């Protein structure tokens, strides 16, 4: 199974386990993530979730060979990106979190990353734009010039630099991100689950209108890019494993 679920007390650990595809998300994985998060949302005995990948990679984002981006009715892209949650979700990141993989981490409430982690948004190198929340979540989570740099180059962030900017909560040693995330989840479980849920709901409500505007702006950017020659060239170059020849049209 590409998604594994493990319960540890009041904590649900969700593991993306498709390492041979760099944990790229296809429809099966999106359904698996969505099903696990449904369980977290609906089970009163589960107070915190942890979403992690394998020891070498968090996620490379959408499976480009899948043809259709994995979406679910309740969670949106990847079963997570548009989900309305009120229980804390921690991303435990080892290795690359690229494109949609980074957007998955941005959709979580807290991030624990090992020193092997790298966060990047390479979509513009493929002639497309980030379409799963990064156009508004990255500028919210990072200094604006750093967010712009990530969104229009393939330059990434190490865990240490992401920590300096306040994106990452805890930097762990290689292989230790999940253990540190479990420790953080344990700290959260010392608080009243009702108080935690209401706190997160109150924070989310303050950004609801901004999120709506962010999705509208994202949709406009996607439509503009879809009509371009550059998008076709970027996708073709990706599958042909060559450098794209941009026309700027």
pLDDT, tens digit, 9 for 90 and up, residues 125-159: 999 999 999 999 999 999 999 999 999 999 999 99
The enclosing domain of 67 has a CATH number of 3.90.226.10
Average the pLDDT over 12-25 and give the result. 95
User: In the predicted model, is pLDDT for residue 190 greater than 70?
Assistant: yes
The set of catalytic residues is: 103, 123
Helix %, strand %, coil % of the chain (to 5):
45, 20, 35
The length of the chain in residues reads 249
What residues make up the domain containing 21?
A: 3-175
139 domain residue, yes or no: yes
Strands 71-72 and 76-77: antiparallel
Instruction: Using alpha carbons only, give the angle 65, 69, 71 rounded to the nearest 5 degrees.
Output: 145
154 domain residue, yes or no: yes
Q: Nearest 10 degrees: CA dihedral of 148, 153, 159, 162? A: -10
Condensed to tens digits (0 to 9), the pLDDT of residues 86-123 reads 999 999 999 999 999 999 999 999 999 999 999 999 99
Mean of pLDDT over the chain: 95
130 domain residue, yes or no: yes
CA torsion through residues 66, 67, 71, 76, sign: positive
236 domain residue, yes or no: no
pLDDT at residue 125, rounded to an integer: 93
pLDDT at residue 140, rounded to an integer: 97
7 domain residue, yes or no: yes
74 within 8 A of 34, measured Cβ to Cβ: yes
Residues with Cβ < 8 Å from 201, sequence gap 6 or more? 86
Total number of domains constituting the chain: 1
pLDDT at residue 68, rounded to an integer: 58
Q: How confident is the model at residue 235 (pLDDT cuts 50, 70, 90)?
A: confident
126 domain residue, yes or no: yes
Complete DSSP assignment for 1-13: --EEEEEETTEEE
232 domain residue, yes or no: no
Q: Name the DSSP class of 58.
A: S
Coil, strand, or helix at residue 114? strand
194 domain residue, yes or no: no
């Amino acid at each position: 199974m590409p998604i594994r679920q493990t319960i540890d007390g009041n904590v649900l650990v969700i593991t993306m386990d498709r390492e041979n595809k760099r944990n790229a998300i296809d429809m099966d994985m999106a359904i698996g993530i969505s099903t696990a998060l449904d369980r977290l949302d609906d089970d009163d005995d589960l107070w915190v979730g942890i979403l992690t990948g394998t020891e070498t990679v968090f996620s490379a984002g959408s499976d480009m060979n899948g043809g259709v981006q994995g979406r679910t009715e309740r969670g949106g892209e990847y079963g997570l990106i548009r989900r309305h949650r009120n229980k804390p979700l921690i991303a435990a990141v080892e290795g690359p979190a690229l494109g949609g993989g980074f957007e998955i981490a941005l959709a979580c409430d807290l991030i624990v990353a090992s020193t092997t982690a790298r966060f990047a948004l390479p979509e513009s190198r493929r002639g497309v734009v980030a379409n799963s929340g990064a156009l508004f979540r990255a500028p919210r989570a990072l200094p604006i010039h750093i967010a712009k740099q990530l969104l229009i180059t393939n330059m990434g962030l190490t865990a240490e630099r992401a920590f300096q900017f306040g994106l990452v909560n805890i930097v762990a040693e290689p292989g230790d991100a999940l253990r540190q995330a479990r420790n953080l989840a344990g700290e959260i479980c010392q608080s009243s689950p009702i108080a935690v849920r209401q706190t997160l709901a109150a924070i989310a409500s303050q950004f609801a209108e901004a999120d709506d505007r962010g999705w509208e702006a994202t949709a406009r950017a996607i439509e503009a890019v879809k009509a371009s020659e550059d998008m076709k060239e970027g996708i073709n170059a990706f599958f042909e494993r060559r450098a794209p020849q941009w026309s700027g049209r």
